[in-house]
Structures are given as structure tokens and as C-alpha cells.
Amino acid sequence: MRTSNLHQSGFTLIELVITMTIAALVIGIGMPSFGRFMEGAKISTTTNDYVYSLHKARSEAVKRATGAGLCPSVNSMVSAAVCAPGSSYTAGWIVYADENNNRQQDAGEEILHRMEARTNGFTFAPDPVFVDQIYFDDSGNSVNVADIPISGTVNITYANGAYGRDIIVSANGRVTSEEP
């Protein structure tokens, strides 16, 4: 009679159940943290996009020795994008060169930068002075249509206010962001 020396390898049912239980616990603990991380990344990305656009408007105004503005636009990604005063920045925004210095976007003025609409869950709450646009003169100062230096804040929130940033534009054109 022959005896077999074959060695069987593998997992027992108990080992497999314990491993699956540990994996489920690790995933259960990690998923909420990952969700918070992703939401934090979305607010950071949007804040960075907005701050970049403001810096672009200011630097182009100084470089070109003419005004430049950032305004909400409901058609920001089309070639003939225009400002939409009173609209929300969640629909998108554009940066334009104000070649005739009349403090508004006119037909034919160059679009310097454009950003697409934000996903659901974002809210932009600008101070009343920045609802229609944020405008920089040829010296890089933030001014209104009467050429008076102004400062204000744009509050960006995400996920029903769970995440937020304040974008502060000072009258001298300095742009900063902070958590509210």
C-alpha cells in the first residue's frame, strides 16, 4: 500500500472569515476619512482656481497697463464668453482685458482666462461690491466703476457649508485666502 506525501496548502474557513472581518473594519474606518479628504480637496481646488484667476487678472492689468476684470459667466467655456452680472460664480467665470478702460467687458475684448462651472454643492457668496465683478486698474488696485479703491471678500463653501474658504481682496489688490 502506498501512502501519499502530498502537502495541502491554503486557508481554512476560520482564517478566511477573520481576514475578511479585519478588512471590513479597516475599510469601514477608512472610508469616511477618505470622503472627508476628497471633499477637502474639492474646496481647495476651487479656491486655488479662483485665487489663480484673481492673480491673473491683476498681473495682466499691470502688465498691459490697462484694466482687467474677473466676472461670473454662464457661458465661460464658449469662444464668445461674456460676463453675466448678478449671476453666481458657480456657473463659471472669465478674466478679461478691459482695453478701453470703461470698467466692463465689451465685445471684442480679449478673454485672458476662463473657468468652467463648479459641481453641485458649491456656493459663492461675494460681498455686494464683488457680485458683478472684481476689477483691477492698471496699477493693480481693486477698484469699482467709479475708480474708487475697494476691498471685500468672496466666501466659497462646499457640502452645505461643511467646508469653506474666504477669498479676501484688499483695495491695493492683494489677494489672500483663509478658512472662515
| CATH number of the domain where residue 161 is located | 3.55.40.10
Return the C-alpha cell found at 123.
456656493
Specify if 107 maps to a domain: yes
CA distance 134 to 51: 12
Per the structure, how many domains does the chain have?
A: 1
User: Given a cut of 60, is residue 6 above it in pLDDT?
Assistant: yes
Q: What percent of the chain has pLDDT over 90?
A: 72
Q: Give the start-end residues of each E strand in 2-104.
A: 67-72, 93-98
At residue 112, the pLDDT reads: 97
Domain carrying residue 58: 14-178
Q: What value does the mean pLDDT of the chain take?
A: 91
User: Given a cut of 60, is residue 133 above it in pLDDT?
Assistant: yes
User: Given a cut of 80, is residue 9 above it in pLDDT?
Assistant: no
Give the residue-averaged pLDDT of 101-129.
95
| pTM of this structure | 0.83
Specify if 5 maps to a domain: no
Residues in the chain: 180
Whether 89 contacts 132, CB under 8 Å: no
User: Given a cut of 70, is residue 8 above it in pLDDT?
Assistant: no
Give the residue-averaged pLDDT of 110-115.
97
Specify if 18 maps to a domain: yes
CA distance 8 to 179: 60
Specify if 4 maps to a domain: no
Specify if 43 maps to a domain: yes
Pick 34 or 82 by higher pLDDT: 82
